[in-house]
């Protein structure tokens, strides 16, 4: 029994030694550098300098992208340009504003529309009164996607839509 106790105590002591604890969180955007020991004066305190990490090659997700459309198309052609940046020019027949999303339906009223420009509620304030586009010829610029087999462009910035 005495030997078993000694073995257990030895294992506990050995297992707790030698393992260096790493911090749970490391901010990768900040690199730390310690000054050389030669540069530190004996009467000054040791300090750690922090510098922001170089982000010149990274994309700023908050910066608005500049879209360069491949070409101008009609609402009926939009289905052939999924994933492409284009400018769609046409007549907005119907504006349907809901709690979470607004639909600007081109050519005909929903469900007979050829194409839709979509504005989410988080952008309503930026766009203002969306009903001003109803019964107007407009152009919208953006990347064509599809929703329920209908082509659409999601508008994130007021510069993406213009009354013609």
CA 75 to chain centre: 27
Q: Is the pTM of this model over 0.85?
A: no
Domain encompassing residue 111: 89-163
Q: How confident is the model at residue 15 (pLDDT cuts 50, 70, 90)?
A: low
pLDDT over threshold 60, residue 129? yes
Model pLDDT for residues 44-66, shown as the tens digit of each residue = 444 444 455 544 444 444 445 55
Residue 114 covered by a domain:
yes
- 74 falls within a domain: no
Please report whether residue 2 resides in a domain.
no
Is residue 148 domain-resident?
A: yes
Q: How far apart are CA 103 and CA 95, in angstroms?
A: 6
- Of 73, 61, 67, the residue nearest 85 (C-alpha): 67
The predicted structure's pLDDT at residue 7:
78
For residue 123, is it within any domain? Answer: yes
Q: Structural domain tally of the chain? A: 1
The rounded distance, in Å, linking the Cα atoms of 155 and 95 is 14
What pLDDT digit, counting tens, does each position of 73-114 carry?
999 999 999 999 999 999 999 999 999 999 999 999 999 999
CB of 118 closer than 8 Å to CB of 102? yes
In a domain, 4, yes or no: no
* CATH number of the structural domain spanning residue 132: 2.40.50
Closest listed residue to residue 119, CA positions, set 98, 90, 147, 94: 98
142 assigned to some structural domain: yes
Counting residues of the chain whose pLDDT is more than 90, the rounded percentage is: 57
Asked whether residue 130 is assigned to any structural domain, the reply reads: yes
């Amino acid at each position: 029994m005495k030997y078993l106790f000694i073995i257990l105590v030895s294992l506990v002591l050995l297992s707790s030694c030698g393992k260096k604890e790493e911090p749970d969180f490391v901010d990768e955007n900040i690199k730390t550098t310690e000054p050389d020991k030669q540069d530190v004066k004996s009467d000054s305190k040791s300090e750690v300098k922090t510098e922001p990490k170089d982000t010149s090659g990274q994309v700023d997700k908050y910066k608005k992208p500049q879209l360069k459309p491949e070409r101008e198309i009609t609402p009926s052609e939009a289905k052939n340009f999924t994933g492409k940046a284009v400018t769609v020019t046409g007549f907005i027949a119907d504006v349907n504003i809901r709690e979470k999303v607004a639909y600007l339906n081109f050519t005909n009223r929903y469900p007979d529309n050829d194409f839709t420009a979509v504005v989410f509620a988080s952008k309503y304030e930026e766009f203002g009164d969306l009903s001003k586009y109803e019964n107007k010829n407009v152009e919208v610029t953006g990347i064509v996607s599809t929703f329920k087999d209908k082509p659409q462009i999601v508008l994130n910035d007021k510069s993406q839509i213009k009354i013609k």
